[in-house]
Amino acid sequence: MESPPDSVYVKYLCFLLLLIAAPARAQTATRRYAIEVAGVRVGTMTATRTPATAARPETVSTLVSDVQVDFLFYHLRIYYKVTNYVREGQLRLSTVEAHTNQGNFSSRTEWQGDHYAIVADQYKHHYRATETQPIRYTVTDMFFGEPAGQNRAFAEYFGDFFGLSPGRAGTYRAGRAGREDEYRYQNGRLQMLIKKNPLKNFIIRPEP
């Protein structure tokens, strides 16, 4: 039986070397949460993050919330999706689409070379601004790790910043214009988010 030509062995060896040298495929990190009001599950929240690749230089993070609440005469439906594109540690583009029982709304924050153009048109919230400082930390980032050393987080939905203040170990308060949320972490992972509401607080916990 004739042996395969040397060229076949060479091609096979090159193929093996390419497999060994090839970088691992970018892995998407996913965090899933249940949303509760007065002990009743009313929705879900999912945060995802896909690292940058050679073909796409931005890290892409999303935060999706889907809530439906029916208590007596109180009805609330909110679906919103935040999508952030980050390159070299800086937010380049953030979009928010919101669909509610009060209508459809959106926000957009885009880096334009020397400033951000910010437009937020949400329910009872209309905001226009420019920001010249690079944005390097957002509310969506808070779902992927404890905000140690951060004193503010860009709130994509509002197009503005939440001030962050640490409390007891692993606890942080995020405040803006009379609104306050409380984030609780354990070993660097978000264990509870309390979104304070005049009617009922929304409690967000990791799904089992």
Render pLDDT for 155-190 as a digit per residue (tens, 0 to 9). 999 999 999 999 998 999 999 988 899 999 999 999
CA–CA separation, 44 and 54 (whole Å)? 32
* Residues 98/106, Cβ–Cβ less than 8 Å: yes
In 3-state terms, the chain is what percent helix, strand and coil (to 5)?
10, 55, 35
Q: In whole angstroms, how far apart are CA 1 and each of 4, 39, 182, 199?
A: 9, 75, 75, 84
Per-residue pLDDT, 130: 98
E strand intervals along 51-124: 59-71, 74-87, 90-100, 103-111, 116-122
CA–CA separation, 195 and 137 (whole Å)? 19
What the block records as the tokens of 34 is 């249940």
Listed in sequence order, the residues at least 6 apart from 187 whose beta carbon sits closer than 8 Å to its beta carbon are none
In this structure, what is the dihedral angle of CA atoms 54, 189, 148, 119, given to the nearest 10 degrees? 60
Element (DSSP H or E) covering residue 10: helix 6-21
Tens digit of each residue's pLDDT, the chain (208 residues): 454 455 555 555 554 444 444 444 569 999 999 999 989 999 999 999 999 999 999 999 999 999 998 866 778 899 999 999 999 999 999 999 999 999 999 999 999 999 999 999 999 999 999 999 999 999 999 999 999 899 999 999 999 999 999 999 899 999 998 889 999 999 999 999 999 988 789 999 999 7
